[in-house]
Amino acid sequence: MAAEKMALAKAINESLRRALESDPKVLVMGEDVGKLGGVFRVTDGLQKDFGESRVIDTPLAESGIVGTAIGLALRGYRPVVEIQFDGFVFPAYDQIVTQLAKMHARSLGKVKLPVVIRIPYGGGIGAVEHHSESPESLFAHVAGLKVVSPSNASDAYWMMQQAIQSDDPVIFFEPKRRYWDKAEVNPEAIPGPLHRAQVVRAGTDLTLVAYGPMVKLCQEVADAAAEEGKSLEVLDLRSVSPLDFDAIQASVEKTRRLVVVHEAPVFFGSGAEIAARITERCFYHLEAPVLRVGGYHAPYPPARLEEEYLPGLDRVLDAVDRALAY
């Protein structure tokens, strides 16, 4: 594969293909991932090229998918499993939390479980109930799991490579509303570390922190703010666990103001953890309290209300104005 511009979904597909080619122990498994190529076509063509033994259509049972992936990992395989939608991960939550996350510690380091769990997540695509959620905090809260979410095609390609190579279980949240956004992917590039944040736009007046689908929004917010003469820095966290607090701290020590944006509900969301820790680390630098913009403490609403529920340009700008007003 040469360097080319491709959609985020295609980048994951290419990354899975590369992993399947380079390591015979890598497996892809999930509901409809084989013949259909996944409901979002992320695994399109993989079963045709690698066979049913390596790209596995599974029974419709999420706990079974993750539980058998654990067994396959114990046998030396590196399964990449797909949970079809965010809201369907909960039958597997028990296996993920009680088994996958803890096996390495329980075995005093003797057992490693290199399992990647891909979860298309987030809203904004007009879907029905249980197809638009952002449960990343529920996984970040669990020791033993790593949680990442790319915001663009290039990161999606490289972060998937790194997640598969990781000897720890990785929950890989894919921003489904960005699946069709294109960016240049260069398979010859040398990627940065998986759990390091990236400044995607430099600024001086305030830091916007986001990951996954909200990075693009924050870049648009920064554009709009620039027209009003405000210089916003945008930090793409990429990883929710571990979280790159050093990068946030470095940015906030410069800008002195921080707004965290995510689709997940604000209450007990990753923004709460960021606010607490950055307040502790940057107490004397902050000119304003850390503000958060996210979903409300309500079930994800029907599609015709989701634009009101999700953080949008104006809601983030409103938070930016409030932070700058201190």
Partner 1 sequence: MTVESTAARKPRRSAGTKSTAGKRTTASTAPGAEPELVQLLTPEGERVKNAEYDKYVAGITPDELRGLYRDMVLTRRFDAEATSLQRQGELGLWASLLGQEAAQIGSGRATREDDYVFPTYREHGVAWCRGVDPANLLGMFRGVNNGGWDPNSNNFQLYTIVIGSQTLHATGYAMGVAKDGADSAVIAYFGDGASSQGDVAESFTFSAVYNAPVVFFCQNNQWAISEPTEKQTRVPLYQRAQGYGFPGVRVDGNDVLAVLAVTKWALERARSGEGPTLVEAYTYRMGAHTTSDDPTRYRGDEERLSWEAKDPILRLRRYLEASNHTDEGFFTELEEESEALGKRVREAVRAMPDPDHFAIFENVYADGHALVDEERAQFAAYQASFADGEGA
Contacts of 91 (CB under 8 A, 6+ apart): 61, 62, 63
Subset of residues 166 to 185 that bind partner 1, contact rule: CB under 8 A: 166-168
Q: Please, which of residues 214-243 interact with partner 1 by CB under 8 A? A: 241-243
Q: How far is the CB of 99 from partner 1 (least distance, A)?
A: 5
- Binding of partner 1 at residue 59 (CB under 8 A)? yes
Binding mask 7-46 for partner 1 (x = CB under 8 A): ----------------------------------------
Helix (H, G, I), strand (E, B) or coil at 23: coil
69/221 with CB nearer partner 1? 69
Across 100-226, where does the E strand assignment appear? 116-121, 146-148, 170-175, 182-185, 198-201, 206-210
Q: How far is the CB of 102 from partner 1 (least distance, A)?
A: 7
Q: Would you say 70 or 160 has its CB closer to partner 1?
A: 70
Among 131, 146, 257, 262, binds partner 1 (CB under 8 A): 146
Each residue of 123-145: b (16+ CB within 10 Å) or e? bbeebeeebbbbbbbbbbebebb
Examine residue 283 and tell whether it contacts partner 1 (CB under 8 A).
Answer: no
**Per CB under 8 A, 71 contacts partner 1:** yes
Residue 228: CB atoms within 10 Å: 9
The answer to whether 44 and 51 are in contact (CB under 8 A) is: no
Residue 131 bears catalytic tag: yes
Q: From 139-147, 149-157, 183-191, 202-210, give the range in contact with partner 1 by CB under 8 A.
A: 139-147
Please list the alpha-helical segments (H only) found in 42-200: 46-50, 62-74, 93-94, 103-106, 136-140, 153-165
- The distance of closest approach from Cβ of residue 144 to partner 1 in the complex, given in angstroms and rounded to an integer, is 6
User: Alpha carbon 224 to chain centroid distance?
Assistant: 25
Interatomic CA distance for residues 59 and 69, integer angstroms: 13
| Contact residues for partner 1, defined by CB under 8 A | 53, 58-59, 61, 63-64, 66-77, 91, 94-95, 98-99, 102-112, 143-144, 146, 166-168, 195, 241-245
